[in-house]
């Protein structure tokens, strides 16, 4: 499944410098980090509302939007899904409580 994330990330990266009239990613890039973060915040709220309403398919749809916009943010910052996956792999097998205490 991480192949899908990589393909989407590759597409996002390719569209970053494109024409904002022809590419949603280019529009977000042109608007800057604050606009990208605003979209992530909106998508987070939509995920929460869908989950609170116990609308399973809506949760999937909104989570896809959230992940997409998060991938846009990562690309904007010169990062990609592989950076997040490496961190998740590092945490694998470690208690969440233990891992959190290691960061403090």
Express each pLDDT in 10-32 by its tens digit: 999 999 999 999 999 999 999 99
pLDDT at residue 76 greater than cutoff 90: yes
The residue with tokens 């490496």 is 86
Mean pLDDT computed over 39-64: 98
Report the C-alpha gap between 24 and 60 in whole angstroms. 21
Judge residue 30's burial from the number of C-beta atoms within 10 Å of its C-beta, 0-12 exposed, 13-18 middle, 19 or more buried.
middle
Pick the more confident residue, 101 or 10.
10
Q: Is the dihedral of CA 15, 21, 27, 31 positive or negative?
A: positive
Report the C-alpha gap between 77 and 54 in whole angstroms. 33
């Amino acid at each position: 499944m991480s192949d899908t994330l990589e393909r989407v990330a590759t597409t996002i990266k390719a569209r970053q410098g494109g024409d904002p009239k022809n590419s949603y990613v280019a529009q977000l890039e042109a608007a800057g980090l604050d606009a990208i973060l605003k979209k992530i915040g909106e998508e987070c709220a939509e995920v929460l509302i869908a989950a609170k309403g116990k609308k399973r398919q809506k949760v999937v749809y909104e989570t896809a939007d959230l992940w997409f916009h998060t991938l846009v943010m990562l690309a904007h910052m010169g990062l990609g899904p592989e950076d997040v996956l490496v961190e998740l792999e590092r945490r694998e097998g470690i208690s969440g409580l233990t891992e959190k205490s290691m960061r403090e």
